[in-house]
Amino acid sequence: MEEESEEEPKLKYERLSNGVTEILQKDAASCMTVHDKFLALGTHYGKVYLLDVQGNITQKFDVSPVKINQISLDESGEHMGVCSEDGKVQVFGLYSGEEFHETFDCPIKIIAVHPHFVRSSCKQFVTGGKKLLLFERSWMSRWKSSVLHEGEGNIRSVKWRGHLIAWANNMGVKIFDITSKQRITNVPRDDISLRPDMYPCSLCWKDSVTLIIGWGTSVKICSVKERHASEMRDLPSRYVEIVSQFETEFYISGLAPLCDQLVVLSYVKEVSEKTEREYCARPRLDIIQPLSETCEEISSDALTVRGFQENECRDYHLEYSEGESLFYIVSPRDVVVAKERDQDDHIDWLLEKKKYEEALMAAEISQKNIKRHKILDIGLAYINHLVEKGEYDIAARKCQKILGKNAALWEYEVYKFKEIGQLKAISPYLPRGDPVLKPLIYEMILHEFLESDYEGFATLIREWPGDLYNNSVIVQAVRDHLKRDSQNRTLLKTLAELYTYDKNYGNALEIYLTLRHKDVFQLIHKHNLFSSIKDKIVLLMDFDSEKAVDMLLDNEDKISIKKVVEELEDRPELQHVYLHKLFKRDHHKGQRYHEKQISLYAEYDRPNLLPFLRDSTHCPLEKALEICQQRNFVEETVYLLSRMGNSRSALKMIMEELHDVDKAIEFAKEQDDGELWEDLILYSIDKPPFITGLLNNIGTHVDPILLIHRIKEGMEIPNLRDSLVKILQDYNLQILLREGCKKILVADSLSLLKKMHRTQMKGVLVDEENICESCLSPILPSDAAKPFSVLVFHCRHMFHKECLPGPSTNSPAQFCGICSAKHRGPGSAILEMKK
Higher pLDDT, 322 or 792: 792
Q: Which pLDDT band, with edges at 50, 70 and 90, does 193 fall under?
A: confident
- Give the pLDDT band of residue 146 (cuts 50, 70, 90): very high
Res 707 pLDDT > 60 = no
The pLDDT of residue 338: 93
Average pLDDT over every residue of 628-648: 78
User: Pick the residue with more confidence: 184 or 699?
Assistant: 184
Please tell me the distance from the alpha carbon of residue 462 to that of residue 373, in angstroms, as a whole number: 40
| Integer angstrom CA distances of residue 449 from 21, 444, 466, 593 | 64, 9, 16, 54
pLDDT band at 3 (very low <50, low <70, confident <90, very high): very low
- Mean pLDDT: which of 259-273, 576-590, 633-647, 703-717 is highest? 259-273
Domain locations along the chain = 438-528
What's the pLDDT tens digit per position in 688-697? 666 666 666 6
pLDDT score, position 716? 65
For the sheet with 251-258, list strands across it.
251-258, 261-267, 284-290, 295-302
CA-atom Rg of the chain in angstroms: 61
Q: Which contacts (CB < 8 Å, 24+ apart) does range 142-145 have?
A: 143/100
Distance CA 734, CA 701 (A): 12
CB 701 within 8 A of CB 677: yes
Q: Are 652 and 667 in contact (CB under 8 A)?
A: no
**Where do the DSSP E strands lie in 282-420?**
284-290, 295-302, 317-321, 326-331, 334-340
**Lowest-confidence pick of 507-511, 560-564, 576-580:** 507-511
Q: Which of 54-63, 507-516, 622-631, 750-759 has the lowest mean pLDDT?
A: 507-516
SS3 of residue 393 by DSSP: helix
Alpha carbons 723 and 563: distance in angstroms, whole number: 61
Average pLDDT in the 496-502 region? 77
219 neighbors 234 (Cβ within 8 angstroms): no
Q: How far is residue 123's CA from residue 138's CA, in Å, rounded to a whole number? A: 9
**Banded model confidence at residue 480, pLDDT cuts 50, 70, 90:** confident
Stretch 338-345: mean pLDDT: 89
Q: How far apart are CA 311 and CA 317, in angstroms?
A: 12
End-to-end CA distance of the chain: 138
pLDDT averaged over every residue in the chain: 83
pLDDT at position 807? 54
Residue 498 pLDDT grade (very low, low, confident, very high; cuts 50, 70, 90): confident
43-47 average pLDDT score: 95
pLDDT beyond 70 at 835? no
Lowest mean pLDDT among 235-249, 411-425, 519-533, 620-634: 519-533
pLDDT of 79:
94
pTM of the model: 0.57
Q: In which band, very low, low, confident or very high, does the pLDDT at 804 lie, cut at 50, 70 and 90?
A: confident
3-state SS class at 688? helix
Higher confidence at residue 164 or residue 726? 164
Buried-exposed string 246-267: b where 16+ CB fall within 10 A, e elsewhere: bebebbbbbbbbbeebbbbbbb
pLDDT digits (tens, 9 = 90+) for 55-112: 999 999 999 999 999 999 999 999 999 999 999 999 999 988 888 888 888 899 999 9
Q: Pick the range with the lowest mean pLDDT from 446-455, 539-548, 704-713.
A: 704-713
**Largest separation between any pair of C-alpha atoms in the chain:** 173
Contact (Cβ atoms closer than 8 angstroms) between residue 155 and residue 167: yes
Question: What average pLDDT does range 717-737 have in this prediction?
Answer: 71
Residue 812 is predicted with a pLDDT of 47
In angstroms, the CA 690 to CA 683 distance is: 9
**Residues of the chain with pLDDT > 70: what percent?**
87
Q: Please give the average per-residue pLDDT across 184-202, as a whole number.
A: 90
Over 80: is that where the pLDDT of 729 sits? no
Chain centre to alpha carbon of residue 306: 58
Least confident of 397-411, 436-450, 620-634: 620-634
Instruction: Check residue 491 and give its pLDDT.
Output: 82
Rounded distance, CA 650 to CA 75, Å?
Answer: 130
Backbone φ and ψ for 354, nearest 5 degrees, come out as 65, 30
d(CA 77, CA 164): 19
Residue 246, strand partner residues: 219
pLDDT of 808 over the 60 cut: no
Q: Residue 126 in contact with residue 141, Cβ under 8 Å?
A: no
The order of strands in the sheet holding 334-340 is 11-15, 334-340, 326-331, 317-321
Instruction: Provide the sign of the torsion angle of the four alpha carbons 564, 566, 571, 574, taken in this order.
Output: positive
Q: Which pairs count as long-range contacts for 349-354, CB under 8 Å and 24+ apart, including other chains?
A: 349/8, 349/9, 350/8, 351/378, 351/381, 353/6, 354/385
pLDDT computed for residue 613 by the predictor: 81
Reference 727, options 704, 710, 701; nearest CA is 704
Give the sheet arrangement for strand 99-103, strand by strand.
Answer: 68-73, 79-84, 88-93, 99-103
CA angle 444, 445, 448 (to 5 degrees): 90
Reported as a pLDDT band with limits 50, 70 and 90, residue 614 is: confident
Scanning 616-770, the segments in alpha helix (DSSP H) are 621-630, 634-643, 647-653, 661-671, 674-684, 688-697, 704-708, 720-761
Q: In the structure, what pLDDT confidence band is assigned to residue 700 with cuts at 50, 70 and 90?
A: low
- Please write the tens of the pLDDT for every residue from 431-444: 887 888 888 988 88
